[in-house]
Structure 1
Amino acid sequence: MIHIVGLPRQLVLLLLAAVLLVPQVSAANSPIVHITDIAWEAEGEIGKILIQLDGPVAYRAVASSASIVVDLWQARHMQWRSQTITHPYVRSVRINQITDELARVRIDLLRPARYKTFLNEDSHTLIILVIPPWMATAPLPNSVVYERQRIRTGAGLTTAHVLRVNPEDQTLEIRPALAADMVSGFETTSIIATRYEALAGVNGGYFGTSGMPLGMVVIDGQLMTTPTDRRSVFVITREGKPAIVPFEFTGRVLTAGRTSLWVSGVNHPPHAGGLAVYNRFYGPLTPPLQTAAIVRNDIVEHLTTGKILIPQDGYVLGVTPDDAELITKFIRVGDRLWLRLEVWPDLEIASAVGGGPRLVKDGQVFVPFAWEWFSPRHVRERAPRTAVGITAANKVLLVTVDGRGRQNTGMTLREMAELMVQLGAREAMNLDGGSSATMVVGGRVVNDPSDGMERPIASALLVLRRPEAAPPAARTTTSRTKPLNPPVRNWDLEDLDPPDPTRLYPSQ
């Protein structure tokens, strides 16, 4: 049920939180399931872990160079015997109970590997494949073209890696992906690409020390994290059209006593005077909170503290230590709450990833770094870079430039903007760079990461085959194309107010 509370219509997202967040498996109405067995199989260099359960379960997986971790919600493990594993990539498999409702399976690695997850819903078997990196390859269609160029900069030469993607190819999809499919996670670009069976991809936007994206992320119409005011966001609309737009966010919680409380962000730490909303996309547990309210099916279930298990059919409200009264004074157990989240301008968003600053506007170099809250040093620094652009023909450019090495100088942001114009971009924006700058093509890292190895990141921008274009086996078994917790709906972005001209970019 959606409640309209008579506030101004600026967006779309007029949402009761429970409507947005209802998953396929609800913690509120699903019994605890048990892990009844874990089996190990090896087929050459490919390892297979089979997790047998006695019912449906929600899960997330995340990988590092040392391990693959699978968290299972509403799950408990039963006693099982560990197996001696002899394998070129896997050292051991362990299981422990993190909370009464969260079980964790850890696959310890001997060396970095890729992985994929599959779910057999009939037998309630979760399968994790451990794959050598050299086997994680994918051929490119004609609508995705990769080229490597040597580019002269103001300090010498550097290598640019260019992907040209035709979004008019109806078999393709351009979309961001989160590390571990949650906000609070880290994975390398290549691991994310392999898990999604991506044709190609680059690193995404900026992120904090906890793995939290610093900027807007939308996946399948679901708001993962809120935008940073004025900063550029790369968007794919529901019609498949790419665009680069700055967004703004407002959020409110309306209490049973008709008090309107400011929401400072979604899956971001709370700001002074505001509430933070943590939903199932954040991860299994919130960060430590001194005062919090657990809301399930839009009813306040209880007030609590600490690291809190986020309900699959609800959310957690948190505040700063100095703002405890926002919860203890205005929110009571048993109250009904209404959550209103708003973004503008009026685009029907399917996918989005934030970054910045903008590099090209109307085919001209345009770098409004101060307007987007970036420092002059960020602009002048010569570094590895990643950018996304849109040509006059609406083709998408994904570009990564190497740097910080003897053979590669890197680029300033203005040089990167000039390169994007030379490549045909009519619009372009910067993504995260430095040691994050990575491009994966056909399953292989094609650039030269400046740290000598890939840096774990929070998000990636991927080129995928649409589920309906994938082979039949992939359509029915992979966790990417048949997720356990699919989005309930896309945003309804109709009937917006006219855009406010004061929120447009200044002219240069």
Structure 2
Amino acid sequence: MKSKNVFIHRLNSLLKAFTLLWLWLLLSGSNSNAQNFLPICEGIEHAEVIRKINGVDVRLNLLRLDPQKIRLDVIHAMDTVNGTEALSSIAKRHGAIAAINAGFFRFDRSIFAGTPSGILMIDGKLFSMSHSGRSAVAIINDSRKTDIAFAHVDTEVSLKISNKKIPISGMNRERKIDDIVLFTPEFGRSTLTDPNGWEFIFQSNDKKPSSGRLVEIRKNKGSSIIPQYGFVLSVSDSKLKILPHILKKLGVIASWQFTIKTIESSESKFFQMAEDITNGVPQLIRNGEIQITWEQEKTNQTFVETRHPRTAIARLKDGQILLITADGRSEDSGGIALKDLAELLLQLGAFEAINLDGGGSTTMFLNGKIVNKPSDKEGERRISDAILVFPRANCKR
């Protein structure tokens, strides 16, 4: 048995060495602008290279991570659901050695700018619901290593009152005309809603954020204060009729609950146990094969086929984690279509991968600075959430 374990250990070491050699050969090629992966900390390596893809130069930045040597955390801008913040600011505030931009978000100048456009969960707290069964990456950090998994995700959120369940259509986002939206303390100080609706304020006496006693009903006022321990149910006029009569009595107790479901049954348990989850679109690679599920995830073909700056995360066949950015919209880097990105990731050894938010949001932070060249006209774009990298041991830089 001991000799068998030694053999397996040596085989794994050879596999990692071969993969590193293959990465070097793939990235180097005949391009004089290429360079090797450089060690940043134990278990963290970085490479920057310009590769010609379908006749167009593309600047790539790659972070190769040993899951036994690092920890990954998803962090939202300003540590609330609403709002935006530069990646470098998020990373520096939390003391991360490296980071990339992550989930898609509402990108406009409204008061709801920065709210996630898909699932976001941080430290086991659900910040926002999934959208159209789109892709997501889940993270679990334990005392020995960091694991990640990918799946197409659906969420169900409901309010339980007495023996009745009220389905929630949205969470921590703008309330629309025909809507029931749940606001939790993670959203911010108030709901920021317009006055065209009803808001039910629940406050907890035992500091349980998911349950509370109805302490106030506000009609046609909007922007209700969210209790530090409790939540607000925001209901449009058209949805008021489906609420149980008991909900209109002060003092009634209610609680909200959520379920995360994955289309891939093999990933269900992992996502239910995950600490952090953030959204992407679409899936690029599944089980070591290119499977770009853009139609299933209800995105459009132009988004898939056009060369854009891109950000992606992958789990490699040897268990390592790869973070990658591809710059675009500039004379020296033309961006990349998703099929080409998937093919590149497959060549780099990816077993699973999804596309994250890209375009002007594509950003990579390393050792205190941005190492790629963001395409946003303002320079470094303010984003919604990020994946941060922390070494498990002291980093000698």
TM-score (norm 1): 0.62
Is residue 308 of structure 1 aligned with residue 218 of structure 2? no
Query: What residue is the counterpart of 1:277 in the other structure?
Result: 182
* Alpha-carbon distance change, 146 to 470 in structure 1, aligned in 2, over 3 angstroms: closer
Three-state SS of the structure 1 residue aligned to 2:88 is: helix
Is residue 293 of structure 1 aligned with residue 210 of structure 2? no
Preserved CA contact (<8 Å) 1:236 1:243: yes
* Counterpart residue identity of residue 126, structure 2: L
Preserved CA contact (<8 Å) 1:216 1:228: yes
Three-state SS of the structure 2 residue aligned to 1:415 is: helix
Higher mean alpha-carbon deviation, 330-339 vs 440-449, is at: 330-339
* Counterpart residue identity of residue 203, structure 2: R
* Counterpart residue identity of residue 346, structure 1: K
Name the structure, 1 or 2, with higher relative contact order (CA <8 Å, separation 6+). Answer: 2
Q: CA deviation at 1:274?
A: 4.9
Q: CA deviation at 1:230?
A: 2.0
Higher mean alpha-carbon deviation, 192-201 vs 245-254, is at: 245-254
Counterpart among 235, 239, 243 of residue 149 in structure 2: 243
Preserved CA contact (<8 Å) 1:206 1:215: yes
Higher mean alpha-carbon deviation, 363-372 vs 236-245, is at: 236-245
Preserved CA contact (<8 Å) 1:293 1:327: no
Three-state SS of the structure 2 residue aligned to 1:190 is: helix
* Counterpart residue identity of residue 202, structure 2: V
Three-state SS of the structure 2 residue aligned to 1:451 is: coil
Unaligned runs of 5+ residues in structure 1 are: 1-138, 472-508
Query: What residue is the counterpart of 1:346 in the other structure?
Result: 269
Counterpart among 442, 453, 458 of residue 367 in structure 2: 442
Query: What residue is the counterpart of 1:501 in the other structure?
Result: none
- Dislocated runs of 4+, deviation >4 Å: 270-274, 326-330
How far apart, CA to CA, are the structure 1 residues paired with 2:173 and 2:287? 33
How far apart, CA to CA, are the structure 2 residues paired with 1:326 and 1:268? 21
Preserved CA contact (<8 Å) 2:74 2:122: yes
Q: What's the RMSD between the two structures over aligned residues? A: 2.0
> What percent identity do the matched residue pairs reach?
29
Query: What residue is the counterpart of 1:192 in the other structure?
Result: 90
Query: What residue is the counterpart of 1:223 in the other structure?
Result: 126
Preserved CA contact (<8 Å) 2:175 2:193: no
Q: CA deviation at 1:338?
A: 2.7
Is residue 158 of structure 1 aligned with residue 158 of structure 2? no
Preserved CA contact (<8 Å) 2:166 2:243: no
Query: What residue is the counterpart of 2:30 in the other structure?
Result: none
CA deviations over 1:345-386 (Å, ceiling 9, x no partner) = 222111111111011112222101000111111101111000
* Alpha-carbon distance change, 236 to 142 in structure 1, aligned in 2, over 3 angstroms: same
Three-state SS of the structure 2 residue aligned to 1:224 is: strand
Unaligned runs of 5+ residues in structure 2 are: 1-38, 205-211, 262-267
Preserved CA contact (<8 Å) 1:291 1:327: no
Q: CA deviation at 1:470?
A: 6.8
How far apart, CA to CA, are the structure 2 residues paired with 1:149 and 1:243? 27
How far apart, CA to CA, are the structure 1 residues paired with 2:324 and 2:90? 18
How far apart, CA to CA, are the structure 1 residues paired with 2:339 and 2:92? 33
Counterpart among 65, 68, 78 of residue 168 in structure 1: 68
TM-score (norm 2): 0.78
CA deviations over 1:129-174 (Å, ceiling 9, x no partner) = xxxxxxxxxx9312111101111122411100000111111xx211
How far apart, CA to CA, are the structure 2 residues paired with 1:271 and 1:367? 31
In terms of fraction of residues, the more helix-rich structure is: 2
Three-state SS of the structure 1 residue aligned to 2:331 is: coil
